[in-house]
A and B are shown apart, each in its own frame.
Chain A
Amino acid sequence: NAGVTQTPKFRVLKTGQSMTLLCAQDMNHEYMYWYRQDPGMGLRLIHYSVGEGTTAKGEVPDGYNVSRLKKQNFLLGLESAAPSQTSVYFCASSVGGTNTEAFFGQGTRLTVV
């Protein structure tokens, strides 16, 4: 059972470069989330999606874009990477509704130099 899979696991970018992080889930979940985790800050919500073709902004959306063209995939894009985007990024998914748990991927460690 794969669950939630994030690609890649590690990446180093130069300032100004672009990249896309891929999140794939095989549980037929409606909701998907992208978080970033910085030391001492816990997890902060970047963007989320409540279904195929829908996206919404979270707490820290600036500098990121997302797409949910297929139900099982949620892409996070950085158009012009900045050192402030150095972080560990986590994707999560849930069945949907309110009283459900979220399942997390293993994370992507991104360094912008």
Chain B
Amino acid sequence: SQQGEEDPQALSIQEGENATMNCSYKTSINNLQWYRQNSGRGLVHLILIRSNEREKHSGRLRVTLDTSKKSSSLLITASRAADTASYFCATVGRGSARQLTFGSGTQLTVLP
């Protein structure tokens, strides 16, 4: 079964608003990563947060990690129409550190 599950499955917001996506996972991790996929394209890495980190920023992205709850969130601030895409969390587990396991993704639509 997949390690990560994103919530919500779909999210629609207006341009300029913030978008928050959540990811829950099942087993202990070494790190958690977020990826973006535009329709019909491959995935692009956005940000990586290690298991000993609680928060990380990159431009308009803010990622938090709560290992006690086995959950992470991705916040995109001041969203743009170009942010419309699917967003996936992926985990690298302890003991299976060579496998990168993905969740089912959140489809984000930013309306102009």
Instruction: Mark A residues whose CB is within 8 Å of B.
Output: 4, 31, 33, 35, 40-45, 48, 50, 56, 58-59, 90, 92, 94, 97-107
Compute how far the CA of A94 lies from the CA of B48 in the bound complex, rounded to whole angstroms. 13
Q: Which residues of B contact A (CB under 8 A)?
A: 1-2, 30-31, 33, 35, 40-45, 48, 50, 88, 90, 92, 97-105
Q: Assess whether A90 is in contact with B104, with CB atoms less than 8 Å apart.
A: no
Given contacts A103-B45, A106-B42, is CB(A98)–CB(B31) below 8 Å? yes
Give the residue of A33, A42, A107 whose beta carbon is less than 8 angstroms from that of B100. A33
B50, B102, B103, B105 pick with most chain A CB within 10 angstroms: B102
The answer to whether residues A99 and B42 also contact, given A40-B104, A50-B98 and a CB cut-off of 8 A, is no
Beyond A99-B31, A101-B45, A104-B43, 7 extra complex contacts between A and B, CB < 8 Å: A44-B102, A59-B2, A92-B100, A98-B30, A98-B92, A99-B50, A102-B45
**6 closest cross-chain pairs (CB), A and B:** A104-B42, A42-B104, A101-B45, A43-B102, A98-B30, A104-B43
Q: A98-B31, A99-B30 given as contacts; is B48 within 8 A of A45 (CB)?
A: no
Cα(A35)–Cα(B44), bound, Å: 14
What are 28 sample pairs from A and B whose C-beta atoms fall under 8 A apart? A4-B42, A31-B98, A33-B100, A42-B88, A42-B102, A42-B103, A43-B43, A43-B88, A44-B102, A45-B99, A45-B100, A50-B98, A59-B101, A90-B42, A94-B100, A98-B30, A98-B92, A99-B31, A101-B33, A102-B33, A102-B35, A102-B43, A102-B45, A102-B90, A104-B43, A105-B42, A107-B41, A107-B42
